[in-house]
Structure formats: C-alpha cells, structure tokens
Structure 1
Amino acid sequence: MRKFLFFTALLALVACNEDDQTTVAPIRGLKTHLVADAKKSTVRRFPAVLEPTSLNTLSFEVAGKLGAVPLAVGQRVQVGQTLLSLDTTTLQLQLDTAEAGVPSAQVARDNAVDNLARQMQLFDRRVITKKDLDDASTLSAAAQAQLEQAIKARDSARETLSKTIITAPIDGIINSVDAVSFGTVLAGAPMVTLYSPDQFEISFSVNFDTVSQLVVGTPATVRLADLPNVNLDAVVSELGSRADTVSSFPVVLKLKDTDPVLKAGMAVEATIELPLPAEEGFTLPLSAIVKKGQIGFSPDGLQGQSAARVFVFDPQTETAVLRDVTVGGVRENELLVIDGLEHGELVASAGVSFLRDGMHVKLLDGE
C-alpha cells in the first residue's frame, strides 16, 4: 500500500513539472510601413563617365624633328598659345633659297620684257624677221613663268615653315600628350588632344522600355561620384535608334551647367525621372519585399512592371496576410507599388522572412 501511494505521488510530481514547462508561443511584434506616400513618377539612375563634348586632336602637317615638349595632362592653355614646335633649320634654309630666287627671276623677266620691246621696234622697221620677234616673245613668256614659279616656291616655303608650330585653337585643357621631346614625327601623327573645360557630356546604355520613354530634351540631373553635393542640370541630346548590344540602346546627356571642379574622366551618376506605367504608385521600403518574390532588376533599374509579394496587416484578425503586388519602378531607394495596395494599409517592413501567411502578430508600440 505504501509503495502504491509513493508511485502515485511521484507520477503527480512529474505531471506537475511537465505542466510548468509547457509555455504558450509568444505573438511576434510587427514593424509596419503606412501606405500613404503616393508618387506619379519613377527615378532611374545610370552610372557613367564625364566626357568632353568635343575633343580636338592636334598634329603637324609636316614631318620633322620635335623640340622640347613642355605640356602635361590637365594643363590649361589659351587660344593662340604655342604648344609644340619642330626644328626649323632645314626649312629656314629652303625658305632663304626660295626668297633669293625671286629677285633673280624678277630681273630675268624684266630683261626679257625689255628685249621683246626692242625686237618689236626692230620688226616694225623691218630690221629683223618674224621669227626673231617670236623668239623674243617666247623668252619673255618663259621669264614671266619662271618668276611666277619662284614666287610660288617662296610662298610654299613660308607656309611649310609656318606649319612647324602647333597652337591652341581654343581655351582648353590638355587631355593627352603623345609627343616625345626631340623625337622625329610624321605628318598627321596625333600629338596633343585638347578639350573645352565648359562643354561635357555623358553616355550610357538603357533597355528598350526606358529608351521608348525618352525624347531629345528630356531633363536629367548629373551628380559627381567623388563630390555628391555637386549636382548639375543636363538634357538628353542624343538617342540611339539601334541597339549597340542586345537590347541595349545608347543615350547621350549634355550638361547645361558647369563647375570649376569638372574634369574629363570623372565618375558620375545620371538621374532621369520617368512616368509610372500607372496613374500613381505607393512607396515601400525594399525590406518589405518577401525574398521569394522575383523582381526584375537591371543595371538601370526595374524593367517595366514586376511582380512581388508583401505581408499586409489585417486589423480584424490581427494577422499578417501575404499579398501579391505589382512594382512599377524605384524612386529614392524605395519601390513604387502600382497595384495591390490601398491607401492607409499597413505593410510589414522588417523581419518578413520570419512571417507566415495568417500568422498572428501585434503592432509594435507606436505603430
């Protein structure tokens, strides 16, 4: 009897301990985002590089031996400034010879003209024959031609000598220097590239959905990657009607503003505002999207409309309800939902990977 009572008491004690260890699962707190902020446009951002609108490539029109090269990349120059020059010793000798030949040809021409005049007088007096007169006329014409040839040779030598100097055609900045001091250069070989410091553009490629919404003149904003506080106005200046790669269309923006810090090759980010595919869209943080949902991201943002899933708080049942939504774009690092949400609803904005459809939840304090 005592053993029976002992085992009965022992079983009761074990059952009591098991009841004490059984606890009710806590209800998860829910951080939410209020569906209220509506936007009518989406923003696309495109990384690019600042490029000069026009690049002037300078070269010599004649071959020769180069002098010292006092240029450096990034150096500012003024219009008319001498940039490079060739050794002129040989060309100067050629010019001196050509200039000396002009007076000699001039004297020969004058003598031939005077001789022709005398021969004409003698012919009128019938002292010489017609052949003698013709010979004098031929010599005069030849002397005139030799004079003209000497003058052209002199002018050509002067022009060739003038081509031994490269001067800056604009006020600009040296972009590259291909010349080597005291080296031998060929006519037409690129020596220096120069660009204007107040005319820049950027180019990038977009998909078909984006290029179809752009026109020449569409406004844009360009921000410097190294100086985010520098924002410049720009416009679309060129649109490619043919893809340079598969479904990739070139776009060129021209800067309307300028800044002293701008230099070719700087990394920039272009921002273009485009209309939504719907009348308006509600902003949602990226953290609200259920990771299993597929969103079509591309290098220039969302590709048109994309399907996604979010958890919406149901105040009647105090549960998180999984819902399909349509995303129409991105704006200021937030998604723009164009279908599937109503104004005033609460969407889970954190911890969505731990939620399940129909899970009981409670709003956090202040939500």
Structure 2
Amino acid sequence: MKRLLLLSAAVLLGACSKEEAPPEPVRPVLSVEVKALNQENLGRFAGSIQARYESNVGFRVPGRIASRNVDVGAEVQKGALLATLDPTDQQNQLRSAQGDLARVQAQLINAQANARRQQELFNRGVGAQAQLDIAQTDLKTTQASLDQARAAVNQAQDQLNYVELRTDHKAIVTAWSAEAGQVVTAGQQVVTLAQPDIKEAVIDLPDTLVDDLPADVVFQVASQLDPSITSTAIVREIEPQAQSATRTRRARLSLTDTPPGFHLGTAISVTLSSEIKPRLELPASALQEVDGKTRIWIVDPQTQTVAPREVSLISRTDDTVVVANGVKSGERVVSAGVNSLKPGQKVRIDEGSPQ
C-alpha cells in the first residue's frame, strides 16, 4: 500500500513538470507612426517686415529747419505737412522779384507810349524811320524783360513754397535724419517714408547658403510674437555682394499673402525648405544595432506583437535618423526600449506614445 502511494505521488509530480510555462507578460512600449517627409529644412533666420517701396525725401531749397510736424511711426496722407524751413530768405527773394517785375512793367508802359508816338510821327511824315525802329526795338526788349521778370516771380514763389516739405503719397514715417534748428542743403535727406500697401520680408542669409539655394526654395514666414500668423514667400532680390563684417547678403522676399498681423517692423522667423523626394524620418532611439546590421521593431496592430526589420540609413543626427527602405509610411515603430524586445513578443502601446 505504501509503495502504491509513493508511485501515485511520483506520477503526479511528473505530470506537473510537463505543464506549459506561464505566458510572458505583455510589455508596454513607446512607439511612433512613420510619416513621409517631402520637404527639407535648410535653416531658420530672423528678420522683419518692411515696405517694398521707401523714399528718402528732403527740401528742394537750402535753409534752417523751423519745425518738424510728425514723429516716427506716424501715418500721413497725401499732401500732409512734414516739416518747414525758415522762409525769410525765400520771402526776400520773392519781394525782390516782385519789385523787378513792377519796374519792368512801368518801363513797358513808357516803351509802348514811345512806340505809338514815333509811329504817329512817321505816319504824318515828320518822324524818322530810324527813331521808329529804335522805339519798336525798345518795346520788344522791354516785353522780353517783362517775361523774364514774371518768370523770376514765379520761381521765387516756388522757392517759397518749397520751404514746406509735404508728402506726395500716403506713407508711414520710418526715420528722421534732421532735427528742428538744423541747417540743411537742397536735396539733403531729411525723412524716410514707407508706402504701407506693399510689404515684404527682409532677412540676412549667409553668403555660402545663398549660392546653394535651390530654384524651388520656399520660405515659411511666421511672426515671432504670434507664430500662428504665417505666410509663405519667394525670393524677390538678393544683394549681389556680401557685407564684409558679417559675410551675409540681404534677401528681400515677396509674401504670398500679407496677414493683418504683419505690420511694418514686425519681427519674423523665416524657415527655408525645399521639395525633396519623399523619405522617412525616425527617432534615433528606434534603431538597434545587431551583428553590424541596423534594424527597427515594427508593431503589428492586429496581434499587438513586434517583429524586427532591417533598414538602410540615409542620414543620422543625435536625435533623428532618415531611412531609405524597410518601413512604410503609416506603420508604427517602437521608439524606446528596443534592446529588450523579442520577435513575436506581445506589447501594449502606451497612451502617451506619439501619434
């Protein structure tokens, strides 16, 4: 009887030893969905919104600035008074020209009267032809002097009008180069005006980058204060020569559209990108090096298991890698903990995994 009990116990122990091992626990993993990239970022640069058309204006006559009527940033309409000169010199010139005109007008009256007298005497046969010719010549000379005096008065009047500096178009005052009390010459820059209707983005690009810009380069423009205000732009012009101190060349970009938030002087951030052949970018942590080969782990959404797959690298940085093949857009790849995975292992995608 005792021997039967021992035999039964041995049979039970052998049966227990043949039971399957407990299933491996489901492993939580972080993963990312593969997305194809069709643009290449070439850099990010700071710049500002400026007017495409600016004009540096000044007085058409010399003099001392008597008043400055607007400040920087003011928006002015066509014909607005910007500044004035002391008009004393121009007023004196006008009075002098008006005096000369009055004198010549009096001379003309005498010349006309003398010409009439000589003509009457000649007609009665008591006047000489020579005297008549002299009188008529004097009349023509005085008439020419009158025309000249009138032109001088008009010119003096214009000179007096030029002591007022007015704008000939709607504009925004962006800079003053002279102050009240300063003596300026004719044509000297006094104020800078910008036409606010057409705006553009202005940035400084490294000289080495300008030469390598693709023909289809696209500029993404965003406000630094409010990145939601964006636009795209294309190159309008680039300075042909780099600045000696910074080795940069100023680029002016035509905006595709101009959001209301793009005011003159708005600080912007400009990103350069170019169309490229679609490629796939992954986190560097998704790679696993095994026996000299590079592989990643693909998550099967149906079975919730993982499987390794070899990939070929195009480029690599500290944070990301670009692969040429071995994975498709839309597949999900394990992005962390790849060294502890096994083929066919059950996984659970954490809710915090990037989508």
The two structures have a TM-score, normalised by structure 1, of 0.68
* Structure 2 unaligned spans of 5+: 1-26, 300-305, 351-355
Question: 1:361 — aligned with what?
Answer: 341
| 1:60 CA displacement | 0.4
* Structure 1 unaligned spans of 5+: 1-27, 291-308, 329-333
* 1:290-343 C-alpha deviation (Å, 9 max, x unpaired): 9xxxxxxxxxxxxxxxxxx9752379xx89788542259xxxxx9794623421
8 Å contact from structure 2 (residues 65, 182) kept in 1: yes
8 Å contact from structure 2 (residues 229, 261) kept in 1: no
1:326 aligns with 2:314: yes
Q: Distance in 1 between matches of 2:162 and 2:66?
A: 14
Question: 1:55 — aligned with what?
Answer: 54
Q: Distance in 1 between matches of 2:229 and 2:199?
A: 15
Letter in 2 for 1:236: I
8 Å contact from structure 1 (residues 66, 87) kept in 2: yes
Question: 2:187 — aligned with what?
Answer: 188
Letter in 2 for 1:340: N
Question: 1:298 — aligned with what?
Answer: none
Letter in 1 for 2:223: L
| Cα 1:287/1:55, change in 2 over 3 Å | farther
1:170 aligns with 2:169: yes
| 1:197 CA displacement | 2.7
Q: Distance in 2 between matches of 1:186 and 1:76?
A: 26
Give percent identity, aligned residues only.
25
* 1:74-128 C-alpha deviation (Å, 9 max, x unpaired): 1222221111001112211221222233233123113212312321232344423
8 Å contact from structure 2 (residues 214, 274) kept in 1: no
| Cα 1:350/1:196, change in 2 over 3 Å | farther
RMSD: 3.9
Question: 1:281 — aligned with what?
Answer: 279
| 1:224 CA displacement | 0.5
Q: Distance in 1 between matches of 2:251 and 2:287?
A: 31
Question: 1:211 — aligned with what?
Answer: 214
Question: 1:238 — aligned with what?
Answer: 236
The two structures have a TM-score, normalised by structure 2, of 0.70
Trace 1:58-69 onto structure 2 (pairs within 5 A): 58-69=57-68
* 1:205-234 C-alpha deviation (Å, 9 max, x unpaired): 4545533224xxx7x542111122222x34
8 Å contact from structure 1 (residues 310, 347) kept in 2: no
Question: 1:349 — aligned with what?
Answer: 335
The total of aligned residue pairs comes to 302
* 3-state SS in 2 of match to 1:152: helix
Q: Distance in 1 between matches of 2:44 and 2:57?
A: 33
Question: 2:139 — aligned with what?
Answer: 140
* 1:218-258 C-alpha deviation (Å, 9 max, x unpaired): 7x542111122222x34425255967589988753223544
| Cα 1:286/1:243, change in 2 over 3 Å | farther
Residue 313 (structure 1) aligned to one of 276, 286, 297: 297
| 1:70 CA displacement | 3.5
